[in-house]
Amino acid sequence: MSARNRQIRVLIVRLGAMGDILHALPGVAALRQARPEWKVGWAVEPRWRALVCADPIHLVNAKAWARAPFRRETLREIDALRRELRAQQYDICIDLQGAVRSALAGRLAGAPRMIGEDRPREWAARYLFGERIPTQGVHVIEQAVEVCGAAVGEPLSPILPRLPVNQDAERWTNEVLRGSEGQPLVLLSPGAGWGAKRWPADRYGSVARSLNQLGCAVLVNAGPEERSMAAEVVQASGGAAQAPDFTLERLIALTRRVRLVIAGDTGPLHLACALGKPVVGIYGPTDPARNGPFGVPFRVLRHPDSKRDHTRHERPEAGLLTITPQQVLEAAGELLQESLGER
């Protein structure tokens, strides 16, 4: 096949974390729609591969490599990744992470075009990009769409992405929801990347109890390190909420069935948006204009005095603590009423 007729191959690099990958998906979906004939691969950390629909998927164990960069096993794995990426003969690499480690991973592919944002998260990463794209969007989803548009050569608009379907997780969801047919399903996700973003578990419990009294079935999501927090929510709810044993695949499957998600600035909230579900966002030190709900019906609760601060404090931010369960319940009630009106 001549170079002119050969299928264009694009590598997307967005290694992690959960919410950040989800923010990248609408731009990649827009690229796919604009150029359906292009072949799209993805480089991602192993724990997040369940979020990505791509062929091939390249697993990048970047965090482990960073802990022991000169270990023989690390060097072997990096070389194996380099050979795997080079074998695909990528024409374009799009770095949607803007970090030095993601740019270095992308560089391993040897693509003629290496594209990234002009003002990336880590400034040094820009020197690894052959094409640096100035972005105007406020929200990170808008910025990712602009970078993908530069690769295509035309402006793009965000598109609701397609997420993988895991049949085992779908069967698990059927079992979990058995007996709650007809009840609006609400998912609470009390965890967050650090303590300053976490609204107190007892307040989630209070909201769960009130929603249950209104006829909702309420489930609580928790990651592997958040199970004690989920148990605290269940206890505070007086048993009105349940916390099944989630995996990422199960969370995706169950979120497809919910009527509403209530969470802080955390991956499960962004997952709900990617799946087109209404959300109540409880925000403190992060800026919802940049990282908030996008493209779905939503309510964001944030105190006017809260300032953007990514310092990883353990205690909840002061403004976050001014948000009451009653305020969250009212926002949830409005969205549930709207969703019922659409049915």
Tell me the CA end-to-end span of the chain in Å, nearest whole number.
Answer: 51
HEC assignment per residue over 106-144: HHCCCCCEEEEECCCCCHHHHHHCCEEECCCCCCHHHHH
Task: Give yes or no for residue 169 having a pLDDT over 70.
Answer: yes
Of 179, 243, 239, 178, the closest CA to residue 212 belongs to 239
DSSP secondary-structure letter at 267?
H
**Pair 114, 151: CB distance under 8 Å:** no
Per-residue pLDDT tens for 56-104?
Answer: 999 999 999 999 989 999 999 999 999 999 999 999 999 999 999 999 9
142 forms bridges with which residues in the sheet? none
Which single residue is written with the structure tokens 């697993």? Answer: 59
Answer whether 144's CB lies under 8 Å from 96's CB. Answer: yes
Residue 1 has pLDDT above 60, yes or no: no
Averaged pLDDT for residues 36-63 = 96
215/317 Cα distance (integer angstroms) = 32
Classified by CATH at the fold level, domain 167-342 comes out as Rossmann fold (3.40.50)
High-pLDDT (> 70) share of the chain, %: 97
pLDDT mean over 102-112: 97
* Coil, strand or helix at 181: coil
Mean pLDDT of the 177-197 span: 94
Q: Which position has the token pair 């109890």?
A: 209
Give me the residue spans of the domains in the chain: 9-152, 167-342
Mean per-residue pLDDT for 313-334? 97
Average pLDDT of span 262-277: 97
Strands 241-242 and 92-95: unpaired
- 9-152, which class in CATH? alpha beta
Residue 319: both structure tokens together? 């403004």
pLDDT of residue 226: 85
The pTM score is 0.94
What tens digit of pLDDT does each residue of 119-148 get? Answer: 999 999 999 999 999 999 999 999 999 999
